[in-house]
Structure 1
Amino acid sequence: MPDRGNRRDRIPKPPAPQSNPLAEGLVLSFEHTDLRGLDEEGDNIVKAFRSIGCPCHKYSIKSERRVQDKLKRFLAEGATPRIIYFHGHGRSLDNSLTFSSHKSRQVGGENYQKLHWQGVADVIMDAKCPVLVILDCCNAGAAAATPVNLHSNRYPKELIAATSWGLSTSDKLAIALCNVLKPWAESSRSRSARSLHERINKELSELRTNEKRRVESRIDQLKDDLAKTNQRIEKLEDKLKSAKRELRHPEKLRDRRRRELESSRRDLEKEIDRLTERTQSQRQKITEKEERLANLRKSIDSYRQAHHSRWMSMRQEWVLQR
């Protein structure tokens, strides 16, 4: 019989690290932020990289100098490609991208921090290894407008941005990346940054389409509930009118019957008020869902246009690098 006290026989061993991993990953975010779920999101990205045998860890941004020192160590000379993932706030100021820990200095207070993309871009461009940067923040496309030395060395530097200039993003990029990393790594056809970008785009499109379908389904459900509520109100109003007609001739009714009708009228009026409030709430929810659906449609259209223009810009940068 197996020894049940020996837990080593029952705990699965983690996969052994590859001698030549596909890439090495670094997830950057600010130590303090107003974005909820960012720490858990970073853990998921690290797990996704490690699941394909790529070493990966998180790093909390404390100052621009410390980040530069960290990147220099991470991008030390070597043949293994590096992937840098940043998630947080992003703003476009003077045609340059700036990362921040909070939406504004007023929100962050003494914990507010910022990091200029220019300060880390120079370190990345000087790295003597292939580097892919993934920016999951608003205005991420502004990184392409930052002047950098395109001829610093022969190693390619590539960028995947969550959105273009002047546009906001959501938490979909991290989910898409985690979903496509394993099939991308297992693909024998291509493991380039371009193929990863294509897989992320396809996954993002599916995620947005599924969300749009869920919103549309919820709107239809709310409309059905509203129609049933209206029917219930009409029936109650008919009963109320009938009760009022009977009360116009109290002499023909016995006292008990009149009291019952008055009580019924009060109950019906309360029920109508309650259902009316519920109807108003349902109409408000339908309006909010319809607005959200419209925003999703606009987001899908702008996302397709932004990624097409961004891909052309990236392609021009690759030509210059070569």
Structure 2
Amino acid sequence: MWSFRNIGTPPVRVLMLHFEYHDVWGLNGMIDQVRFAFWRKNFEVIDYRIPMDDSCLHLSRELKSFLKLGDAKTVLIIYYSGHGGRSPDELQLASHSSDEAATISWVAIRDQILSAERDVGIILDCCNAGAGAVPRTTIEQTRFHGHPKEVIAASSWSESTTGRMSTALVTALNNWNPNMGDSLSMETLYERIVVLLAQENSVSQPVHLDEHSRVMILGVGLIVP
């Protein structure tokens, strides 16, 4: 996977996802902080508010455009913050905690990401983020085009989260100093987030998956814990 030693090398574009309307307290302010942290590191940030109607269709169209940005050297990051549920064993992105929420099944959009001819990092700050794990049969059937896909998920398969991972993400990005020879990758970013959360005695701990760890983690695999 990519590793940054200089800001802007390789070029990075971030797609920040959240629902147009939601009931997550403090989410808008946290999204602003994450956006600014990426922007300070010269990452190009695209803020996409998922519409409440035909949510999956609109997001799929946005992903289709985003996953073609730049060239083969461009690194893409997809960040989602909000509600996450399970139905029954798959990750569901949701606008609200009620039954009337707008929802998107991760299964409906994951193959777009897996097949992208770009290196893609995915950051999921939601409950049940681990429910997005991809079965090995799906991995074997999906083309990667030689471009790794990695995920940092705020929680495991059936855990809740308090949203503290995004706070740790902001701190980790702010502390990254490439001018001092400090390199950054999804793996090192994950490690720094874990350390920061441990210092806060956070109950939920994030999960990191790449194509090499898929067999090791509960026998399932890659891309979205």
Q: Structure 1: which 5+ runs fail to align?
A: 1-17, 210-295
Say yes or no: does 1:80 pair with 2:40.
no
How far does residue 314 in structure 1 lie from its aligned partner after superposition? 6.1
> Of the two structures, which has the highest relative contact order with CA contacts closer than 8 Å and spacing of 6 or more?
2
Q: Which amino acid aligns with 1:45?
A: V
**Alpha-carbon distance between aligned partners in 1 of 2:168 and 2:107, rounded to the nearest angstrom:** 27
Work out which of the two has the higher radius of gyration on C-alpha atoms and give 1 or 2: 1
Q: 1:114 to 1:136 in 2, by over 3 A?
A: same
Alignment match, 1:131: 120
Q: Which has the higher strand share?
A: 2
3-state secondary structure, aligned to 2:133: helix
Work out whether 1:171 is the aligned partner of 2:163: yes
- Match of residue 204, structure 1, among 190, 197, 204: 197
Contact 2:152 2:209 in 1 (8 A): no
Residue in structure 2 matched with residue 102 of structure 1 by the alignment: 96
More helix by share: 1
1:149 aligns with 2:143: no
Cα 1:203–1:113 shift into 2, 3 Å: same
Q: Which runs of 4+ in 1 moved over 6 A?
A: 318-321
* 5+ residue gaps, structure 2: 1-6
Structure 2 counterpart of 1:191, from 173, 178, 184: 184
Task: Give the aligned CA root-mean-square deviation in angstroms.
Answer: 2.5
Matches for 1:1-16 after TM superposition, within 5 Å: none
Instruction: State the SS of the aligned residue for 1:190.
Output: coil
**1:29 corresponds to:** 18
Structure 1 residues 166 and 318, CA gap change in structure 2 (3 angstroms): closer
**CA gap 1:96/1:39 in 2 versus in 1, 3 angstroms:** same
Is 1:83–1:131's contact at 8 Å kept on the other side of the alignment? yes
Match status 1:113 vs 2:102? yes
Aligned length: 203
Q: Deviations over 1:74-120 (max 9, x none)?
A: 11052111111101111122321111111122xxx4xx200110112
Superposed counterparts of 1:218-229, under 5 Å:
none
Distance 1:158 1:38, change over 3 A: same
How many angstroms apart in 1 are the aligned matches of 2:63 and 2:177? 24
